[in-house]
């Protein structure tokens, strides 16, 4: 997976708009190949949506009060990206940059599923759904429903699997299973299994389907990973490698002009001329910056729709989810407007800890985003209490919430393309001196890997062009 721009040293200059993960990756790879890069970043710090908040930080948002982060020593909140799949290029950068990683627990049998007003452990919800689905399929097989579909021999193999899949009884009935968990765990004695499941009707009515399949996807399957100490280790290490002096923060781009022999970029600190430009900022933000790239480019930039996304970090004085619920990392899935609760996959048994009390997008994120930070916290606590009880409100030390659609110069959690569109191709394959990069130009939207893959694609094409030019 080694990535290198080959074919001799180039001396071209490149101005990169935006020092998020795409911009930083582009600068890093171009820098290795000898290019002279300057990054213009409108925000006060690099990283974009890769944002880790710690005690002493201050989070501002558009049309709202600033929040002072009061977390204790060692407590952090990944307000943006939080998990990395092992196949993603993000891990290659962690390896190359010497960023230690640890497991991110994305599936925890001990976490809860809260749907239709009921709370059960994930292990219980799974055992019941798998059990009954297996029983039904076994029944269908015995009734001959599959006789014209598969051979008798295949039916035997299928039944053998269904017995294991559902932990079925001798008559291929689901009668509950130790997989559901125990009210008293086995030890010197056999323990007390959770009593028999509800009926098939009750289990179906519980509506746990979405919740228990969350990690089936190729991008959510266990194991997943996170950098030790916070996601922004990626920003820190990329910044160091690029050279912090190449990044101008608080630099808002006001105009982009493509010329015959280069690109001129006006920003709040002056004007910069370079041979090439990589616009690595959100499309809806770029669309508003005056440029001479043509009306079709502006229209294309306006096509992807920004999607709201938000999270709240809740810092507690005890790790009651470990002590009382025996939840070590993982995610509780809900049908409430908080969508998920994330338990920390690090610093187990520490004194304090931080939960993600909601992580939502679209309508629910708009709902929370429209509230004051205090009301967001209140609402998140009311919802979480439905799952965890009164202790969810006790021992809370501090909280911080982010509404990405209200973050200046970002204005969204990610984007959604209304359809597969020619705008996508137009912006991905530009042939002028201005290139576009970002997760929004890939099939890995809302992943750092998307930003990195896009950056690599753009610098490859830019480099080929430089090598071909006289």
Instruction: Using CB under 6 A, list all residues that contact ligand PHE.
Output: 83, 219, 446-447
User: Is 450 in a helix, a strand, or coil?
Assistant: helix
Smallest distance from ligand PHE to CB 294, Å = 31
Smallest distance from ligand PHE to CB 295, Å = 31
Smallest distance from ligand PHE to CB 238, Å = 19
φ, ψ for residue 436, nearest 5 deg: -120, 140
By beta-carbon proximity to ligand PHE, the closer residue of 43 and 311 is: 311
By beta-carbon proximity to ligand PHE, the closer residue of 87 and 161 is: 87
Residue in 339, 415, 403, 340 with CA at minimum distance from that of residue 370: 403
Calpha distance 161→273 (Å, rounded)? 66
User: Phi-psi category of 449—alpha, beta or left, where left has phi over 0 and alpha has psi -120 to 50?
Assistant: alpha
Smallest distance from ligand PHE to CB 248, Å = 29
Smallest distance from ligand PHE to CB 49, Å = 10
Which positions ≥6 away from 417 have C-beta within 8 Å? 303, 304, 305, 423, 424
Smallest distance from ligand PHE to CB 447, Å = 5
By beta-carbon proximity to ligand PHE, the closer residue of 92 and 219 is: 219
Smallest distance from ligand PHE to CB 413, Å = 8
By beta-carbon proximity to ligand PHE, the closer residue of 83 and 126 is: 83
By beta-carbon proximity to ligand PHE, the closer residue of 197 and 344 is: 344
Residue number with the shortest CB distance to ligand PHE? 446
By beta-carbon proximity to ligand PHE, the closer residue of 20 and 181 is: 20
With vertex at residue 16, the alpha carbon angle to CA 10 and CA 22, rounded to the nearest 5 degrees, is 100
DSSP 278-346: EE-S-HHHHTTS-BSS-HHHHHHHTSSEEE-EEEEEEEESS-HHHHTT---SEEEEESSTT-EEEE-SS
By beta-carbon proximity to ligand PHE, the closer residue of 112 and 447 is: 447
Smallest distance from ligand PHE to CB 438, Å = 14
Two tokens at 183?
């009210």
φ, ψ for residue 153, nearest 5 deg: -65, -45
By beta-carbon proximity to ligand PHE, the closer residue of 341 and 446 is: 446
Q: Quick check: 415 and 305 in contact, CB under 8 A?
A: yes
Cα→Cα distances 422→39, 95, 167, 426, Å: 29, 36, 50, 6
Compute CA 338 distance to the chain's CA centroid, rounded to the nearest angstrom.
Answer: 15
């Amino acid at each position: 997976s080694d990535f290198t721009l080959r074919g001799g040293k180039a001396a071209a200059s490149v101005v990169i708009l935006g020092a998020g993960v795409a911009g930083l990756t582009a600068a890093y790879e171009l820098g290795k190949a000898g290019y002279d890069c300057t990054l213009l970043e409108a925000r006060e710090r690099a990283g974009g949506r890769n944002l880790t908040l710690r005690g002493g930080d201050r989070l501002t948002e558009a049309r709202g009060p600033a929040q002072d982060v009061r977390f204790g020593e060692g407590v952090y909140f990944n307000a943006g990206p939080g998990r990395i799949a092992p196949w993603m290029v993000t891990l290659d950068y962690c390896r190359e940059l010497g960023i230690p990683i640890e497991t991110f627990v994305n599936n925890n049998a001990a976490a809860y599923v809260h749907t239709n007003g009921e709370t059960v452990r994930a292990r219980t919800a799974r055992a019941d759904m798998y059990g009954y689905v297996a029983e039904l399929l076994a029944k269908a097989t015995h009734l001959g429903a599959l006789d014209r579909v598969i051979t008798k021999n295949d039916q035997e193999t299928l039944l053998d699997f269904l017995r294991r899949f559902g932990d079925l009884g001798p008559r291929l009935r689901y009668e509950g299973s130790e997989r559901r968990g125990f009210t008293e765990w086995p030890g010197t004695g056999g323990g007390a299994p959770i009593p028999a499941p509800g009926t098939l009707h009750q289990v179906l009515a519980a509506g746990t389907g979405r919740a228990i399949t969350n990690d089936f996807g190729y991008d959510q399957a266990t194991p997943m990973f996170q950098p030790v100490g916070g996601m922004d280790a990626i920003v820190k290490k990329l910044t160091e490698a690029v050279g912090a002096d190449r990044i101008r923060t608080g630099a808002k781009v006001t105009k982009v002009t493509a010329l015959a022999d280069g690109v001129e970029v006006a920003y709040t600190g002056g004007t910069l001329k370079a041979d090439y430009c990589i616009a690595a900022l959100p499309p809806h933000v770029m669309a508003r910056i005056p440029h001479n790239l043509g009306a079709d480019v502006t229209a294309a930039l306006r096509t992807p729709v920004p999607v709201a996304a938000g999270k709240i970090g809740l810092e507690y004085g005890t790790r009651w989810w470990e002590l009382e619920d025996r939840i070590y990392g993982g995610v509780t899935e809900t049908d409430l407007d908080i969508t998920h609760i994330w338990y920390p996959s690090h610093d187990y048994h520490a004194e304090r800890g931080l939960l993600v009390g909601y992580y939502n997008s679209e309508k629910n994120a708009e709902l929370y985003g429209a509230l004051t930070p205090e009301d967001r916290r209140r609402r998140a606590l009311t919802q979480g209490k439905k799952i965890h009880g009164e202790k969810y409100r006790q021992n809370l030390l501090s909280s911080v919430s982010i509404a990405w659609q209200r973050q200046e110069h970002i204005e969204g959690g990610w984007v959604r393309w209304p359809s597969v569109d020619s705008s996508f191709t137009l912006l991905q394959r530009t042939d002028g001196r201005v290139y576009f990069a970002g997760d929004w130009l890939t099939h890995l939207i809302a992943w750092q890997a998307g930003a990195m893959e896009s950056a690599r694609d753009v610098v490859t094409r830019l480099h080929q062009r430089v090598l071909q030019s006289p």
